[in-house]
Amino acid sequence: MAGVSAQAGPDPARQVLAAGDGWASSGSGTTGGAAAPAGNVHEVRTRAELVAALAAPGPRIVKVRGVIDANTGADGKPLRCTDYATDGYTQAGYLAAYDPAVWGWEREPEGPLEDARVASAKRQEAAIAVNVGSDTTIIGVGRGAGITGGSLRIHGVRNVIVRNLTFRDTHDCFPRWDPNDNSPGAPPGNWNSLYDSVSLQRSEHVWVDHNTFTDEPNLDSTQPLYFGRPYQVHDGQLDITSGSDLVTVSRNVFADHGKTMLIGSSNTSTTDPGKLRVSVHHNVFRNVQERAPRVRFGQVHVYNNLYEGAEPVYSWGVGVRSQLFAQNNFIRGIAPEKIVYNWGGTALTDTGNLVDGRPVSLVDAFNAANPDKVLGTDAGWTPTLNRGLEPAHRIRHLKAGAQPAGHHLVVGRGFATVQAAVDAAPAGGVITLPKGVYREVVKIPASKRGLTLRGATGRAQDVVIDYDNASGTKKPDGTTYGTTGSATATIAADGFTARNLTFRNSFDRARHPEITATQAVAVKATGDRMLFDRVHFEGHQDTLYADTPDVGTRSRQLYRDCAITGDVDFLFGRATAVFDRATITALNRGGDPNGYVTAASTRRDNPHGFLIVNSRIRSDAPANTYFLGRPWHPGGDPDAVAQVVVRDTELPAAIKQAPWTDMSGFPWREARFAEYRNTGLGAGTGADRPQLTDEQARQHTKSAYLGGWNPA
């Protein structure tokens, strides 16, 4: 069957690798589970179903529909890092024990906390490692199919096809510190993770085709530095090691990653020589830092690939006994000397490659920049299994990867959680949430521009995203979440829209008297042009964090016909935010003061902070016990000068006659607080209630704050 065209046949799950298509087509070819009887074709939607299908007798076809979260327990509920930690492991304890200032730089970690880390890692491995047997095709069906957090292991088998899947965020909860692992030109030491998204060991005849590999939404670039080194939680995206052989890697996307593809186990391997024949063609490598690929052994043909995005540490690593033949690749926006690195090899054949459309000898560029690591120009072989080889200029707009999710996704139809749907959705996508309570933490990264979340029923109270972290809630590492980390939903995407749903932080002070830092955010929103339409925000302290991505950026946000509930500073942040026709409920805490409606931290050079207009503030708190706001200066920043206008709004009797107050030593009179034409029992005028003039009021309107953005 090796000669059957990859385009033949009505069912992609029964397609086989075409003749001449790379090393995996040699000899008997690669057919995967194409010969599986009808009774051995499995469609799976959960981790448990995936594991069961892969354990069935071969040949087998496993069709993945939707997104499978590998970090899932036997009961089907999501597992977090804290669920794997055992034997007293905490990240804080590990960092304290093996800090080089205490432990030194000579010894690798050992002792009870290292043993606890290993035991915790084994618990995670038992959940996320999925073993693939011989004569198997595993394929995504439908748009957006994939595996999040999983490690697909093709170990000690033959004849496997993996196609049309998106592999996301195979993160290690328990990275290991190695003070003696040094990268070229970097400070000493590295954090090393354990799990590859797809791992090939001791296997042959494997075809990996049309998949997408990404770390989103948990990029290593967002991780902290510990001991001066990045806390790297991802290992390889596709590693081919331990004497694996006859592999074709075609038309995949490898994106936003560090250590991308390793070919060969170690410089001293006794199983790799004579094997590791691999073809890597028509793949897109975007924003990857290194190993694209790094080759220690083997005749490896790298042709017709597209390299673009952030400049890497290096792309092609030439190892001790590698025979790397790089042909007709297109490289965009990367310095030629950054493509190659010599890891103890002798030669690289480099032919027909283009950098920004110009022919360049990448070996010559490397040698000129690294005269102490000079490479030869002949890898000692010429590839013949090069089906589809084309001139490099035709690769500049290469399309590859798994079929992305459609524009419209529905939670519960292939996506078990809101986060799974967010991960799969394209920028500009629409996610519908059926009626129910979704108990999870949701993160929407900046890359999901234009995304829409909407409740299916048209009633916000029917569709609730809820979690209960507070600032003082303990994380697995022994530290606390802090205000930002407590958010039930963190939304960074510009152009984001939410309609007809509720975001809730259900942290209960009474049930957790041991927690004194009770800030508990329902939503932290930092994007520009964000529309919340008929959305409810429920919490107590710090319910809605309307902010910007950084102090130098302005973000416009419109909260239209929304309901917001809380008590202390429950509308706060740096954003330019308009609350139009909002219902704002100030809860009764039974004291005086009962609370503060706003705590803006508007930048000094921004004339527009919070505008509450045509709204109603309501409260059953006693009269004269609530402040409209106070000026928040994060970290004592003198350039955070709150700006809040409350106008044309009904105020309850609970609002104090002097409704503004100082905060952390910063006087409210130095902030920019004002009212205009408010009504209700809590309205009033006087020396402690600055009022806008009619002329000033014309500068404090919805259109003025939104600055030309007017969502329909």
Residue-wise pLDDT for 110-127, tens only, equals 999 999 999 999 999 999
Report the distance separating Cα 504 and Cα 509, nearest Å.
15
Q: What is the rounded average pLDDT of the residues 535-560?
A: 96
* pLDDT computed for residue 416 by the predictor: 86
The 10s digit of each residue's pLDDT in 153-188 is 999 999 999 999 999 999 999 999 999 887 666 778
The 10s digit of each residue's pLDDT in 396-420 is 999 999 988 778 999 998 788 999 8
Q: What is the rounded average pLDDT of the residues 666-694?
A: 97
The 10s digit of each residue's pLDDT in 600-653 is 999 999 999 999 999 999 999 999 999 999 999 999 999 999 999 999 999 999
Q: What is the rounded average pLDDT of the residues 91-105?
A: 94
Phi, psi (deg, nearest 5) at residue 125: -60, -40
The percent helix, strand, coil of the chain (3-state, each to 5) is 15, 35, 50
CATH number of 24-80+117-394: 2.160.20.10
Would you call 695 helix, strand, or coil by DSSP? helix
| For residue 96, pLDDT beyond 50 | yes
What top-level class would CATH report for the domain 406-522? mainly beta
Residues of the chain with CATH 2.160.20.10: 24-80+117-394, 406-522, 543-711
Q: What is the rounded average pLDDT of the residues 487-501?
A: 96
Contact 143, 192 (CB under 8 A): no
Phi, psi (deg, nearest 5) at residue 97: -70, -40
Instruction: Provide the token pair at 251.
Output: 């038309």
Report the distance separating Cα 668 and Cα 650, nearest Å.
22
- Choosing from 176, 291, 294, 296, the catalytic residue is 291
C-alpha 185, offset from chain centre: 28
User: Roughly what angle, to the nearest 10 degrees, separates helices 112-128 and 91-98?
Assistant: 140
The 10s digit of each residue's pLDDT in 580-589 is 999 999 999 9
pLDDT averaged over the chain?
94
Torsion of CA 660, 662, 667, 669, to 10 degrees: 0
Instruction: Provide the token pair at 5.
Output: 């065209």
* pLDDT computed for residue 1 by the predictor: 31
Report the distance separating Cα 127 and Cα 333, nearest Å.
40
Decide if domain 543-711 falls under CATH 3.90.940.20. Answer: no
The 10s digit of each residue's pLDDT in 449-462 is 899 999 999 999 99
| For residue 2, pLDDT beyond 50 | no
| For residue 8, pLDDT beyond 50 | no
Q: What is the rounded average pLDDT of the residues 343-354?
A: 97
Between residues 108 and 9, the one the model is more confident about: 108
Residues 6+ apart with CB under 8 A from 246: 23, 24, 26, 27, 30, 204, 205, 206, 277
Report the distance separating Cα 83 and Cα 69, nearest Å.
15
Sign of the C-alpha dihedral computed for residues 452, 453, 457 and 458 taken in this order:
negative
Q: What is the rounded average pLDDT of the residues 680-694?
A: 96
pTM of the model: 0.74
User: Could you give the count of Cα atoms lying within 13 Å of 243 in the half-sphere of its Cβ?
Assistant: 8
* pLDDT computed for residue 711 by the predictor: 85
Instruction: Provide the token pair at 595.
Output: 């609370």
* pLDDT computed for residue 5 by the predictor: 36
Measured over all CA atoms, what is the biggest interatomic distance in the chain, rounded to whole angstroms?
Answer: 91
Q: Outline where DSSP puts E strands in 468-562.
A: 489-491, 497-499, 502-505, 523-525, 530-533, 536-538, 544-546, 556-560
144 — alpha (psi -120 to 50), left (phi > 0) or beta? left
Q: Which of 180-189, 222-231, 344-353, 524-533 has the lowest mean pLDDT?
A: 180-189
* pLDDT computed for residue 152 by the predictor: 98
Percent of the chain past pLDDT 70, that is, above it, reads 98
Measured at the CA of 542, the angle between CA 221 and CA 632, to 5 degrees, comes to: 85
* pLDDT computed for residue 80 by the predictor: 83
Q: What is the rounded average pLDDT of the residues 308-319?
A: 94
| For residue 554, pLDDT beyond 80 | yes
DSSP state of 3: T
Element (H, E) at 88: none
Instruction: Provide the token pair at 164.
Output: 């049309």
Nearest to 485 by CA among 465, 508, 501, 469: 469
Instruction: Provide the token pair at 497.
Output: 């829209």
| For residue 445, pLDDT beyond 50 | yes
Nearest to 164 by CA among 208, 114, 228: 208
Nearest to 217 by CA among 230, 231, 234, 229: 234
User: Could you give the count of Cα atoms lying within 13 Å of 80 in the half-sphere of its Cβ?
Assistant: 6
Percent of the chain past pLDDT 90, that is, above it, reads 86
Cβ burial of 515 (10 Å; 0-12, 13-18, 19+) is: middle
The 10s digit of each residue's pLDDT in 19-71 is 999 999 999 999 999 999 999 999 998 899 999 999 999 999 999 988 898 99
| Length of the chain (residues) | 712
Confirm whether 560 is a catalytic residue. no
* pLDDT computed for residue 558 by the predictor: 98
Cβ burial of 464 (10 Å; 0-12, 13-18, 19+) is: buried
Contact 150, 167 (CB under 8 A): yes
Report the distance separating Cα 321 and Cα 339, nearest Å.
19
Nearest to 139 by CA among 202, 223, 50: 50
* pLDDT computed for residue 144 by the predictor: 87
For residue 599, the cross-strand partners are 572
Report the distance separating Cα 593 and Cα 452, nearest Å.
38
Please, what's the b/e burial string for 336-372 (b: 16 or more CB within 10 A of its CB; e: otherwise)? bbbbbbbbebbbbbbbbbbbeeeebebbebbbeeeee
Measured at the CA of 573, the angle between CA 466 and CA 465, to 5 degrees, comes to: 10
